[in-house]
Amino acid sequence: MTGKHNIETIDTVPKGSLGSRIGAFCRRFWWLLAIILVIVVLVIVLPVIFVAYPKLAQEDVSASTLTIADMQTTNPRPDALHVKVTQVIGSKSKYHPTLDPFDAKVYLEGQQESFMTLHTPQVKADDGVKAIIDQDVKIENAEGFAAFSKAIMLSKEVKLNIIGTTKLKLGGLQKTDVDYDKTTTLKGMNHLEGFNVTDIKIGNIPDTEYNMKGNAFIPNPSVLTLDMVSRHPVIQYVYLY
């Protein structure tokens, strides 16, 4: 008896490398991978934009300093005056955002009501940058302004609170709201210590109705330039140094 043997030939396909299999998967499911990538990016970026960025912006603004390098008050009127202020911003942050213009309320420290509002221009928050305000201001609170004037004349130092709300923009990121709340210190007149009157002459002054003339010396250790009663008919000259 003769046996029969059936022989089958099976073609085998070698397995592809890991890289080729991954490539094939990516080509087939690219849309799924794209969705996953977008989700991951959003999960990382959105908290940065909506949580970390505003928090960092506020921290940098709060850590910055404000110094008044020069302040001139001229053309005083019963309810207004002209103010020119040179402010110097100090910042040790590695970021240099831009602050939008905003209205800053000015308070004498300890007072609950502001006595004037300064329109602060747009400024880039670099260390040492200057912001110049030059405007007519309305005296919003006569009692508060009187308290400020008295403190300037009688104190060695006067503290002012500068408060407002503005928007901050850093690079390509969207603007975010920040609170601006600074306390700055000014030197005062300290009771006009060193005040002196020289070259006093008593007697009728030709072509005038006055009978006394002299020069008043008022030392000024502050950064303030004050227009003090310069239009008064009796006081002809006032020098502030």
- Report DSSP state, residue 48: I
- CA distances for 184 relative to 25, 90, 108, angstroms: 64, 12, 10
Which two structure tokens, joined as six digits, stand for 228?
Answer: 């003090």
Residue-by-residue DSSP string for 100-140: PPEEEEEEETT-SS-SEEEEEPPEE--TTEEEEEEEEEE-S
Helix (H), strand (E) at residue 35: helix 30-47
Domains detected in the chain: 62-188 (2.60.40), 191-240 (no CATH)
> What's the confidence (pLDDT) of residue 85?
96
Burial class (CB in 10 A: 0-12, 13-18, 19+), 233: exposed
Please give the Cα distance from 107 to 159 (Å, whole number).
9
Q: What string of pLDDT tens digits covers the 241 residues of the chain?
A: 555 555 555 555 555 566 676 667 667 667 766 777 776 665 666 555 556 788 889 999 999 999 999 999 988 888 999 999 999 999 999 889 999 999 999 999 999 999 999 999 999 989 999 999 999 999 999 999 999 999 999 999 999 999 999 999 988 888 999 999 999 999 999 998 888 888 888 888 787 777 888 888 888 889 988 876 545 444 444 444 4
Spell out the residues 6+ positions from residue 155 whose beta carbon is closer than 8 angstroms to its own. 188, 189, 190
Q: Which two tokens stand for residue 204?
A: 């009728």
Question: For the packed helices 30-47 and 18-28, what is the interaxial angle rounded to 10 degrees?
Answer: 80
User: Quick one: pLDDT at residue 117?
Assistant: 97
Residue 237: the pLDDT is 40
